[in-house]
Amino acid sequence: MDDWYGGVRALDPLTGEKIWEHRMFSLAWAGLLSTAGSVIFAGTDDGYFKALDAKTGQQLWYLNLGGPVQASPMTYATKGRQRVAIAAGNGLFVFGLPD
């Protein structure tokens, strides 16, 4: 199983060609969240929650939340500020995005 890995891929919708790939070496049961600001959020079974640049796939930020991320992230706005929420393990985490 040395060649097994999970990942997030961006594909050209017209040709199906891979544009970029971000490898994740843990199971990824959760869905992805893509924002209008070109950020993709992804979680892994080993507890990592990541932000990726939607244009390049480059990792922008990550944090281990201490429990598996098996839910899909969601976003909402309150008081004019965008937030991202994710359930991991037995907790719910909410992050404020920079202006």
Which domains does the chain show, CATH number per domain? Answer: 6-96 (2.40.128.630)
The DSSP-derived string for 79-99 is: TTEEEEEEEETTEEEEEEPP-
Q: What is the pLDDT of residues 61-82, one digit of tens each?
A: 999 999 999 999 999 999 989 9
pLDDT of 1 reads 47
User: What rounded mean pLDDT belongs to the chain?
Assistant: 91
Q: What is the pLDDT of residues 7-55, one digit of tens each?
A: 899 999 999 999 999 998 777 778 999 999 999 999 998 899 999 999 9
Query: Does the pLDDT value for residue 86 go beyond 70?
Result: yes
pTM confidence score: 0.88
Sign (positive or negative) of CA dihedral 18, 15, 1, 28 = positive
